[in-house]
Amino acid sequence: MTEVNISARIPSELEKELEKYMKEEYLEKSTAIRRLLFKALKEWKVEYALKLLREGKITISKGTEIAGMNIWDFIEEVRRSKIQWVSDEIIDHDLADFK
């Protein structure tokens, strides 16, 4: 993986929190920032996939791709988020087929 330098200005309070994290986790600054950024982006991908699914813009399988998760873990996230990903019309149609 190719690495690039990123520079950012942060509030001094955030720097204090970062230093506390570094101390507790025994990490140097660049490793701590990389780890936190990776975790935040991973969480964002799941949230973004759930948002698109809630809006009916993607399927479950596309959501798993976007979130970078296996289907069972993503379905568990969908369940926790209480997202109805199958429309009432599809359910009604399927129920009518059983009659």
- Evaluate whether 69 touches 75 at the Cβ level (below 8 Å): no
Model's pTM, two decimal places?
Answer: 0.80
Q: What is the pLDDT of residue 65?
A: 97
Rounded CA separation 9/27 (Å): 20
Query: In this predicted model, what pLDDT tens digit does every residue of 44-98 receive, in sequence order?
Result: 999 999 999 999 899 899 999 999 999 999 999 999 999 987 766 666 665 676 6
Hey, is 87 helix, strand or coil?
A: coil
